[in-house]
Amino acid sequence: MCDAPWHTAAVKPREMIATAKIPGHKGELRCYHHDGAYEVWVDHTELMSTRVFGSEEALAELALERLGHRKAPRILIGGLGMGFTLARTLALVSEKAEVDVAEIVPEIVKWNEELFGHCAGHPLKDPRSNLIVRDVRNLIEESPDTYDVILLDVDNGPEGLSRPGNDSLYNKTGLKMIRKALRQDGVLGVWSSDDHAKFNARIRAERFSVELRHVKARRTKGARRAIWTAKRL
């Protein structure tokens, strides 16, 4: 089971079933099974849940909408998470698409394969998926003029929680590097748990056509999330 009501007559206790070290951070990720759903936490913050994934799907939808039709797009997703962004991307692109997924924490990959991958339909098994276990920033830096779309759902957005090194993706140098990795008229999509005024100003100062949308975490309800889509000019 992957989902459960927010409120039940007898809510079961949260059971920790796995942990993982975070590269470049002293803390750890904790995976829980809770009342029929799976959750991943860092410190006192829930990073992801199989109950709440509407905004992660919206990240793929909004970015691909701005891209428009391409017969064989090359796409990079930064951060595997629970696989929902990947699954929605695969559902929207052609059979000739290639989708690279960069994930820095090996245990996240293992949990997708062994614990909760079925919740998103096991998107890693799709032959169009190419899993790369490494820092997405390094991959972007080494991939000039490669991608039609880059989707970033890394950490908690421009103001990270789990790994300070992730912030370098969203600074001026990181945005210039991302722009170089995009093909002409390529699209960058950025998910964030909240608005980030400094990042909003920063990305608009680069050579992108930027749109900011707000979506609900669970499609029709839940916390408001921010999604930037930025087309390379």
Instruction: Tell me the pLDDT band of 13, cut-offs 50, 70 and 90.
Output: confident
Residue ranges per domain, the chain?
54-232
- pLDDT (mean) for 142-155: 95
Q: Is the pLDDT of residue 4 over 70?
A: no
Write the CA distances from 101 to 1, 45, 132, 182, 213, integer angstroms.
25, 24, 6, 15, 24
The residue type of 126 is D
**24-38, 81-95, 153-167, 178-192: range with lowest mean pLDDT:** 153-167
Q: Is the pLDDT of residue 105 over 90?
A: yes
pLDDT at 26: 77
Return mean pLDDT, the chain.
Answer: 92
Question: What's the CATH fold of domain 54-232?
Answer: Rossmann fold (3.40.50)
Q: Is the pLDDT of residue 7 over 90?
A: no
Instruction: Tell me the pLDDT band of 9, cut-offs 50, 70 and 90.
Output: very low
In sign, the C-alpha dihedral spanning 62, 54, 194, 49 is negative
pLDDT at 53: 96
Decide the pairing of beta strands 98-102 and 129-132.
Answer: parallel
Q: What is the pLDDT of residues 157-191, one digit of tens each?
A: 887 655 566 788 999 999 999 999 999 999 999 99
